[in-house]
A = this chain, B = another copy of it.
Amino acid sequence: MLSESVKDCIRALIYLALNQDKEYISVKEIAVKLNLPFFFLAKNIQKLVKEGILDSYRGPKGGITFKKPLNEIRILDIIKSIDGDSLFRKCILGFEECSDDNPCAIHQRWVPEREHLKELFSQSLQDIVNDIKVGKVKNIKL
Contacts and interface: CB of A to CB of B under 8 A. Distances in A.
Interface of A: 1-2, 4, 7, 10-11, 14, 75, 87, 92-95, 98, 101-110, 113, 116-117, 120, 123, 128, 131-132, 136-137, 139-142
Contacts of A11: 93, 105
Contacts of A94: 2, 4, 7
Given A93-B10, A116-B116, A102 B1 contact: no
Contacts of A113: 116-117, 120
Q: Quick one: copies of this chain in the complex?
A: 2
B103 A137 contact: yes
17 contacts: A1-B92, A2-B93, A7-B93, A10-B93, A11-B93, A14-B105, A102-B141, A103-B140, A103-B141, A105-B132, A107-B137, A108-B136, A108-B137, A109-B120, A110-B120, A113-B116, A113-B117
